[in-house]
Amino acid sequence: MKHVIKNCTACLVGALLGAGPVHAGGPLILEGANGNTPVSYTSGAVSLNFDQGLLRTTLTNQQADDLLNQAFALWNNVPTASISITQSSDLSQDIVVSNYAPLLPNGLSNDPSFSDGVSPVIYDVDGSIIDDYLGAGQSSAVAGFAASIYTVGSNAFVEGYAVLNGFKLANSSEVIQLVAHEIGHLIGLDHSQLDIDNTVDSGNACATAPSHAYPVMYPFLCRTANSLHPDDIAAVSALYPAADIDQQLGQLRGYFVDASGNPVRGANLWVENTATGDKYSIVSDYLKQNNGYFSLYLPAGNYTLHANSLNPIFYDVSSVGPYANTSSDVSFQAPHPITPVTYQRDTGSPVAVSVSTGLASEVTFRTDGTGTDTGGLTIAQPAASNGGGGSGGAMSAALLAVLLMIGVMRARCRCD
């Protein structure tokens, strides 16, 4: 039995209570035969079943449903991605503390909720469900959580679930932001640090940049605009690429290594478009191939390339990338923390790397800023993004059997 628990801490009321944390840039779950394939929903279709009750006492059920659909649209409307998150038939009743249990994983490998055909979105109007499920008092800290379930060895999600704490939501905008973040996790997106201050403490998490500079998938929910950040768009496009993505974007990829050429894992890498100022991020060796690999789908343009280490507060429920599950994980061990560095090739000063639509540019980026880059390459997709790949048929046929070894990912958001 394998359980993958990856939580996130989000503070959607950061502005009111002082920030708390929310996990991007890359995939949240790696699985598949070699354990380095991002897990996603086959065909990009996700349909969810909504609660019949209230999310907030000041909203009707219909108004809450409408806000959820507005959040779904943020992801659905990305032209370079193929994700389709939709509202399906409602759950059979108002979900409350006395009847929620069958809908959520209970930690057992043969949990019937793993294969009930229902992907619930539960409205916890007073926090009582979160208190019951996560522990007394948790509703004062947890804004919501969401997850999808996958079968060990496959790279396809089976079902999802989300619990939203209406008790912690101050207004409709916060509902949309919380849902967008949690649904990001539900479809398999991780947190991202981007270029945000990597030394800030949790009490000032939203204080070092204007709110629009924070991605939806930043570990703290600092964004206030009801829109996606370019970093969010690149992340969902990489996990759910549109059929014509190669006609819309190019690829910047490479290897982050030390001065001796040894791979550096778990570093925070980001790029900045020199014309638009848009920024995008990914964690080095995000596919856990032990080679320092990174890859970003980007609009054509020139990009400076930067690296630093993760903020030491971004672990466990706030983890960024696959190497931050604990405070002593790879992202927090030597050679980390590394000195923040900008790619210079061999010039001694920052240089931009050109990315062209439909083509890849590949960079070897060393921790001292030196390196080499080559453009005009064929775009490479080292890991299948959707479906079960070559083992898809076998997985379907064996689904009932392998449910005994199912994995669970849980993303949780809370305010410290």
Shortest distance, position 205 Cβ to Zn ion, whole Å: 13
Shortest distance, position 10 Cβ to Zn ion, whole Å: 5
Shortest distance, position 22 Cβ to Zn ion, whole Å: 4
Q: Tokens 């997985």, residue?
A: 395
Give the nearer residue to Zn ion in terms of CB position, either 78 or 183. Answer: 183
Give the nearer residue to Zn ion in terms of CB position, either 10 or 395. Answer: 10
Shortest distance, position 24 Cβ to Zn ion, whole Å: 9
Give the nearer residue to Zn ion in terms of CB position, either 22 or 305. Answer: 22
Shortest distance, position 23 Cβ to Zn ion, whole Å: 4
CB of 74 within 8 A of CB of 84? no
Give the nearer residue to Zn ion in terms of CB position, either 139 or 154. Answer: 139
Give the nearer residue to Zn ion in terms of CB position, either 8 or 355. Answer: 8
Shortest distance, position 239 Cβ to Zn ion, whole Å: 15
Residue nearest to Zn ion (CB): 8
Residues 369, 367: Cα–Cα separation, whole Å = 5
Dig out the tokens for 230 from the structure: 């370019």
Which residues partner with 362 through β-bridges? 253, 374
Residues found near Zn ion in the complex (CB under 5 A) = 8, 22-23
Give the nearer residue to Zn ion in terms of CB position, either 22 or 330. Answer: 22
Q: Tokens 């609009």, residue?
A: 299
Shortest distance, position 185 Cβ to Zn ion, whole Å: 6
Q: Phi first, then psi: what are they for 149, rounded to 5°?
A: -105, 135
Give the nearer residue to Zn ion in terms of CB position, either 122 or 341. Answer: 122
